[in-house]
Amino acid sequence: MAIKGKAPSASSVEQNVYKVFPNDLNSKYTVFGGLVMSLCDRTALIVAERHSGSTCVTAAVDSLNFLAPARAGDTLIVKAAVNRSWRSSMEIGVHVAAEDSFTGNTRHVVSAYLTFVALDDSGKPRSVPDVLPETKVQKRRFDEAQVRRDGRLASKRR
């Protein structure tokens, strides 16, 4: 029997770490934004595939805000969790921090919301388990995700 619902903690990625080297930098010697976007997408994909138990594709990326630059030598720490699911789609929230390995100081670099769709063997969208939020924070994210989805689908129709 298919699983009816799963808690976000069952699929979350608590710490995906990436050490920044000089070949990760742009011409201003800060981390190339595309690298951070790729890290967000890959980490969120892990969450979506854990939650759904299926192959998933990225359907949409919204609100990817670069809040501060990361630099050579920093360690990027990526956290991701599923906020809410609908029939075949899931919203995954991602948080990226840059850590100075010598001092342990961290800066919030990026927050993003990504939507993934689970696919069946023939490549068609398939249903996914509900998200069962447990904590106050997870419940807030669950409620806010519906508002974001409504906006996302409205802007897709425009």
Ligand X SMILES: CC(C)(COP(=O)(O)OP(=O)(O)OC[C@H]1O[C@@H](n2cnc3c(N)ncnc32)[C@H](O)[C@@H]1OP(=O)(O)O)[C@@H](O)C(=O)NCCC(=O)NCCS
Shortest gap between Cβ of 44 and ligand X (angstroms)? Answer: 12
Q: Point out which residues pair with 17 in neighbouring strands.
A: 77
Extended strands (E) in the chain: 5-6, 13-19, 55-66, 75-85, 89-99, 106-119, 130-131
Residue type, 131: V
88 binds ligand X (CB under 6 A): yes
Q: Which stretch binds ligand X (CB under 6 A): 46-54, 69-77, 87-95, 104-112?
A: 87-95
Question: How do strand 13-19 and strand 75-85 relate by DSSP bridges?
Answer: antiparallel
Residue range at the interface with ligand X (CB under 6 A); choices 22-30, 32-40, 99-107, 150-158: 150-158
CB atoms within 10 A of CB 24: 19
51 binds ligand X (CB under 6 A): no
- Please say which residue, 32 or 86, places its beta carbon nearer to ligand X: 86
**Piece in contact with ligand X (CB under 6 A), picked from 15-23, 29-37, 51-59, 92-100:** 51-59
CB 12 within 8 A of CB 83: no
Residues touching ligand X, count (CB under 6 A)? 14
Residues of the shown chain interacting with ligand X in the complex, contacts defined by CB under 6 A: 57-60, 86-89, 115, 117, 125, 152-153, 156
